[in-house]
Structure 1
Amino acid sequence: MSANRPPVLAAGALVWREVGGKVQVLLVERTQHRDHSLPKGKLDPGETLPECAAREIEEETGLTISLGAPLGTTEYRLPDGRDKVVYYWQAKVDDDAVSAAAFSPNDEILALEWLPLAKAKRRCTYEHDVTVIERFEERLAAGHAETFPIIAQRHAKAADPFSWEGSDASRTLTSRGERQARLVAGGIAAFAPERIITSNAVRCMQTVAPLRQLLGIEPKVSSAISQEAHDHPELHPRDEVERRVGKAVRKRRGIVLCSHAPVIPEIVTAVVHATDALESQRTHRASMLHTAEFTVLHVSAGETPALVALETHSPRER
């Protein structure tokens, strides 16, 4: 990477579907370059990478997608000498989504093309796109092409507990915290969770308010994932976090759990246990969240749930 200038960040997705039991992936032909590649685009100010990926796919192809597990990054040098890093996710679409997509050739994208995996790799202009398709092929072979998200979110920046006159649970978000909550909402929504569970602390309920507006899902308020439950386990069922996460895994249901710093590791550990995964430095780091950060744990939707990937995102404050 260039030491002089920060890299250009972009995001995209390997969009796939099944036709007659066969997998096809979507390539775009760019109007000016007349090349064939996976759809992607540059990050907007204040945007998280998952939000960018979902937005760019919709803008370039007309498809509304929900992101699955990440497929890593590609890195290359731009003609002006700057480095570019592109983040990719896998995203399955069905016939209804394809039929509803409104696309017409424009000055950016000339055409869309659905191709079988082998033909798509031959059609790609750039080897780094072939690499992403090959990563997806490995997921497909392992039975992990379809996943659902368990998302652990720490509440945004709240009022100082040492100067707050009310109870700890009544502390509200600061203006910075309100901004953080808005900035991360689109990134979480990009994974299309089906349910939102929040601690009964005001700061947690305020944190998920922008997400509620985006998804149209009424959050379920729970004292089981509160700071009080962690500090006074004798007053709350000790296995409640494990029970809630285990239920989501069994039902293959994507959920968001908005809670507090000491509770986030319990949520991550519960996912590890529910998927028979191993705790590691990666899962430990994924549970150590700063305010408003969120970790997405991607669980295979196959017959046997498995922890396929995990990723952590922060509000991109300017």
Structure 2
Amino acid sequence: MTARQAQETEHSQSLARRKAVEKAVYAAGAVVWRIVDGKLRILLIHRTKYRDVTLPKGKVDPGEMLAETAVREVHEETGIRVSLGVPVGVSRYHLPSTKQKVVHYWAAEATEDAIRASTFVPNREIAAIEWASMKKARARLSYPVDLEILDFFEHLVDDGVLYTFPIIALRHAKALSRAEWDGADAARPLSERGRQQARSIVGPLRAFGARKIVTSDATRCVETVKPLARSLERKTVQTELLSQDAWEDGTADLRSIVGKRVRSGKPAVLCSHGPVLPGMLAEISLATGTIQGSYLSSAADLEPAAFSVVHLSATNPGSGIIAIETHIPKV
């Protein structure tokens, strides 16, 4: 094959991949679970129109990020509000229109409070919801792609990592450039696009149960988490120990901040700067006894307002990182 032929082949393959993405329909859902009398139960939905049994899921609305879609769809279809746990796979299949449907799934615990608060009644879309054992769920589910997702989920159960919590490493949203700002760098605010990004990530961050917010005291970081704090009705913890200035002059203390969050076992957002994020991810791996690798560098290489969710075992956080996923805002 000549260089020209190779170039043409690569170009045609690139076009094919682009067309496949354009044709794809994206959706998100969850394997919703609970423990009843010491036994695991999985939530199934019986759909009215299709007369099938499947896992709760639905298509992404315009402007939504996938995690946000998963939480919204679970609530709309079952009346249960959940926070997302570990990702449990992606299913792909073709619709009658020939478009490919791509569905991202997470594990999600249904707490007793959330179940009691559910106002579900049978409707035109969902005829019934059912809590089933793993064995019965396998027998009831209508589609092989759902069984593959259940297989992945069952591996988590077998590995003893059903209960998890996230530490979310967030890079601040887009700030004014240094050329546009003549004050101190730490006081540089968000741009208009950055403010839009900060608002757009509130739903996705809440989807993972974010409650505690710790941020660099730089203005661009504080402004990034402000919409989230307002939505949660919570105060932020602002510290120079996560700041870029402290990182550059050697006075940052990522270890104490990360260690405290790992020990707490509760969902948290840590907002900082691009140069600081690799150190933050490294400290999470050290605090959990995880072997470091290139995946950490990838998780730390974030665009403005992007974030990586590090999932840890709630019962044994020192057993290592279970999964890492990265989310990029659409704004």
Work out the CA distance in 2 between the residues paired with 1:201 and 1:165: 15
Q: Which residue pairs with 1:313 in the alignment?
A: 327
Give the Å deviation of 1:194.
2.7
Q: Which residue pairs with 2:3 in the alignment?
A: none
Question: Is 2:109 the partner of 1:92?
Answer: yes
CA offset digits 1:190-234 (Å, max 9, x no partner): 11123100111111111001111222221100100001011111x
Q: Which residue pairs with 1:3 in the alignment?
A: 19
Work out the CA distance in 1 between the residues paired with 2:218 and 2:113: 39
Q: Which residue pairs with 2:14 in the alignment?
A: none
Q: Which residue pairs with 1:156 in the alignment?
A: 173
Give the direction of change, closer, same or farther, for the CA distance of 1:2–1:122 in structure 2 (3 Å limit): farther
- The two structures have a TM-score, normalised by structure 2, of 0.92
Q: How many residues align?
A: 313
Q: Secondary structure at the match of 1:67?
A: strand
Work out the CA distance in 1 between the residues paired with 2:317 and 2:174: 38
CA offset digits 1:53-111 (Å, max 9, x no partner): 11111111100101111112011101100001100000112222111111011111111
Work out the CA distance in 1 between the residues paired with 2:138 and 2:246: 51
Structure having the larger proportion of residues in helix: 2
| Residues 169-184 of structure 1 mapped to structure 2, 5 A cutoff | 169-184=186-201
| Residues 282-301 of structure 1 mapped to structure 2, 5 A cutoff | 282-301=295-314
Work out the CA distance in 2 between the residues paired with 1:18 and 1:308: 21
Question: Is 2:233 the partner of 1:243?
Answer: no
Q: Which residue pairs with 2:66 in the alignment?
A: 49
Query: In the alignment, residue 269 of structure 2 is paired with which amino acid?
Result: V
Question: Is 2:271 the partner of 1:255?
Answer: no
Question: Is 2:118 the partner of 1:101?
Answer: yes
Q: Kindly name which structure, 1 or 2, has the bigger radius of gyration based on alpha carbons.
A: 2
Query: In the alignment, residue 98 of structure 1 is paired with which amino acid?
Result: I
Structure 2 contact 311–321 (Cα < 8 Å) conserved = yes
| Residues 265-280 of structure 1 mapped to structure 2, 5 A cutoff | 265-280=278-293
Work out the CA distance in 2 between the residues paired with 1:200 and 1:225: 8
Structure 1 contact 181–207 (Cα < 8 Å) conserved = yes
Work out the CA distance in 2 between the residues paired with 1:303 and 1:295: 21
Query: In the alignment, residue 92 of structure 1 is paired with which amino acid?
Result: E
Work out the CA distance in 2 between the residues paired with 1:177 and 1:169: 16
Match among 210, 213, 217 for residue 230 of structure 2:
213
- The two structures have a TM-score, normalised by structure 1, of 0.96
Give the direction of change, closer, same or farther, for the CA distance of 1:179–1:79 in structure 2 (3 Å limit): same
CA offset digits 1:137-161 (Å, max 9, x no partner): 1101111111100000000010011
Question: Is 2:93 the partner of 1:80?
Answer: no
Structure 1 contact 139–145 (Cα < 8 Å) conserved = yes
Work out the CA distance in 2 between the residues paired with 1:199 and 1:2: 38
CA RMSD for the aligned pairs? Answer: 1.3
Give the Å deviation of 1:163.
2.9
Structure 1 contact 186–214 (Cα < 8 Å) conserved = no
Give the 4+ runs in structure 1 shifted more than 2 A: 1-6, 303-306
Give the Å deviation of 1:303.
3.0
CA offset digits 1:111-149 (Å, max 9, x no partner): 100000011011000011111111111101111111100
Structure 1 contact 29–111 (Cα < 8 Å) conserved = yes
Work out the CA distance in 2 between the residues paired with 1:307 and 1:216: 29
CA offset digits 1:275-302 (Å, max 9, x no partner): 1111112111000001000000000112
Q: Secondary structure at the match of 1:193?
A: coil
Structure 1 unaligned regions, length at least 5 = none
Structure 2 contact 215–236 (Cα < 8 Å) conserved = yes
Greater relative contact order: 1 or 2 (C-alpha under 8 angstroms, separation 6 or more)?
Answer: 1
Q: Which residue pairs with 1:131 in the alignment?
A: 148
Give the Å deviation of 1:162.
2.4
Work out the CA distance in 2 between the residues paired with 1:83 and 1:300: 34
